[in-house]
Structure 1
Amino acid sequence: MEEEASYVCGECGEEVVIPVDLSAGSYQEYVEDCPVCCRANVIHVEIDPEGGVRSWGELE
Protein backbone atom coordinates (compact mmCIF):
# COMPACT_ATOMS: atom_id res chain seq x y z
CA MET A 1 0.00 0.00 0.00
CA GLU A 2 1.14 3.53 -0.76
CA GLU A 3 1.77 5.93 2.08
CA GLU A 4 2.40 9.05 -0.02
CA ALA A 5 0.52 10.76 -2.82
CA SER A 6 0.71 14.10 -4.55
CA TYR A 7 -1.50 16.88 -5.88
CA VAL A 8 -0.91 19.88 -8.11
CA CYS A 9 -1.59 23.27 -6.52
CA GLY A 10 -4.46 25.00 -8.31
CA GLU A 11 -2.74 28.39 -7.98
CA CYS A 12 0.96 27.95 -8.74
CA GLY A 13 1.01 24.52 -10.42
CA GLU A 14 3.57 23.06 -8.01
CA GLU A 15 3.35 19.29 -7.43
CA VAL A 16 3.14 18.71 -3.68
CA VAL A 17 3.82 15.33 -2.05
CA ILE A 18 1.54 14.54 0.89
CA PRO A 19 1.46 11.72 3.43
CA VAL A 20 -1.59 9.44 3.28
CA ASP A 21 -3.14 8.11 6.48
CA LEU A 22 -4.40 4.70 5.37
CA SER A 23 -6.36 4.28 8.62
CA ALA A 24 -8.48 7.41 7.98
CA GLY A 25 -10.84 5.68 5.53
CA SER A 26 -11.14 5.15 1.81
CA TYR A 27 -12.21 8.75 1.04
CA GLN A 28 -10.55 11.71 2.72
CA GLU A 29 -10.96 15.44 2.20
CA TYR A 30 -9.14 18.23 4.00
CA VAL A 31 -7.70 21.72 3.45
CA GLU A 32 -3.94 22.27 3.18
CA ASP A 33 -1.96 25.39 2.31
CA CYS A 34 0.46 25.01 -0.59
CA PRO A 35 4.01 25.12 0.82
CA VAL A 36 5.15 27.22 -2.18
CA CYS A 37 2.47 29.91 -2.68
CA CYS A 38 0.48 29.51 0.60
CA ARG A 39 -2.92 29.28 -1.16
CA ALA A 40 -5.44 26.94 0.45
CA ASN A 41 -6.22 23.78 -1.53
CA VAL A 42 -8.94 21.23 -0.81
CA ILE A 43 -7.18 17.87 -0.96
CA HIS A 44 -9.11 14.75 -1.97
CA VAL A 45 -7.69 11.27 -1.39
CA GLU A 46 -9.31 8.02 -2.50
CA ILE A 47 -7.96 4.60 -1.54
CA ASP A 48 -9.20 1.61 -3.53
CA PRO A 49 -9.66 -1.88 -2.02
CA GLU A 50 -6.26 -2.99 -3.35
CA GLY A 51 -4.54 -0.07 -1.60
CA GLY A 52 -4.03 2.15 -4.65
CA VAL A 53 -4.16 5.85 -3.87
CA ARG A 54 -5.62 8.60 -6.07
CA SER A 55 -5.30 12.23 -4.96
CA TRP A 56 -6.01 15.67 -6.34
CA GLY A 57 -6.34 19.23 -5.15
CA GLU A 58 -8.44 22.25 -6.01
CA LEU A 59 -8.38 25.82 -4.78
CA GLU A 60 -10.56 26.43 -1.75
Structure 2
Amino acid sequence: SADAGARVTLEGLAGKKFAITPGWPLTLLAWSHSVFAPLLRWSFDRTARRARKS
Protein backbone atom coordinates (compact mmCIF):
# COMPACT_ATOMS: atom_id res chain seq x y z
CA SER A 1 0.00 0.00 0.00
CA ALA A 2 0.99 3.62 -0.32
CA ASP A 3 1.20 4.00 3.46
CA ALA A 4 3.57 1.03 3.76
CA GLY A 5 5.72 2.40 0.94
CA ALA A 6 5.90 5.81 2.56
CA ARG A 7 6.77 4.27 5.94
CA VAL A 8 9.62 2.19 4.47
CA THR A 9 10.92 5.20 2.54
CA LEU A 10 10.93 7.40 5.64
CA GLU A 11 12.63 4.66 7.68
CA GLY A 12 15.31 4.37 5.00
CA LEU A 13 15.86 8.10 4.95
CA ALA A 14 16.07 8.21 8.74
CA GLY A 15 18.65 5.41 8.65
CA LYS A 16 20.63 7.33 6.00
CA LYS A 17 20.44 4.49 3.50
CA PHE A 18 21.98 5.18 0.10
CA ALA A 19 19.40 3.09 -1.77
CA ILE A 20 15.86 2.35 -0.73
CA THR A 21 14.54 -0.57 -2.75
CA PRO A 22 11.14 -2.28 -2.70
CA GLY A 23 11.47 -6.00 -2.06
CA TRP A 24 14.35 -8.43 -2.00
CA PRO A 25 14.82 -8.82 -5.80
CA LEU A 26 15.62 -5.14 -6.27
CA THR A 27 17.64 -5.07 -3.06
CA LEU A 28 19.72 -7.96 -4.39
CA LEU A 29 20.14 -6.22 -7.74
CA ALA A 30 21.18 -2.95 -6.08
CA TRP A 31 23.71 -4.80 -3.93
CA SER A 32 25.13 -7.06 -6.63
CA HIS A 33 25.32 -4.66 -9.57
CA SER A 34 28.83 -3.63 -8.61
CA VAL A 35 29.90 -7.27 -8.81
CA PHE A 36 28.32 -7.98 -12.19
CA ALA A 37 28.97 -4.65 -13.92
CA PRO A 38 32.71 -5.22 -14.52
CA LEU A 39 32.02 -8.70 -15.90
CA LEU A 40 29.34 -7.40 -18.25
CA ARG A 41 31.54 -4.50 -19.38
CA TRP A 42 34.39 -6.92 -20.12
CA SER A 43 32.07 -9.19 -22.09
CA PHE A 44 30.58 -6.32 -24.11
CA ASP A 45 34.02 -4.86 -24.84
CA ARG A 46 35.28 -8.27 -25.97
CA THR A 47 32.28 -8.69 -28.28
CA ALA A 48 32.82 -5.20 -29.73
CA ARG A 49 36.52 -5.88 -30.35
CA ARG A 50 35.68 -9.10 -32.17
CA ALA A 51 33.05 -7.34 -34.27
CA ARG A 52 35.53 -4.63 -35.29
CA LYS A 53 38.08 -7.23 -36.41
CA SER A 54 35.66 -8.98 -38.77
TM-score interval, normalised by the smaller of the two chains:
under 0.3
Q: What TM-score, normalized by structure 1, do the two folds share?
A: 0.17
Q: What TM-score, normalized by structure 2, do the two folds share?
A: 0.18
Q: Which has the higher strand share?
A: 1
Q: Which has the higher helix share?
A: 2
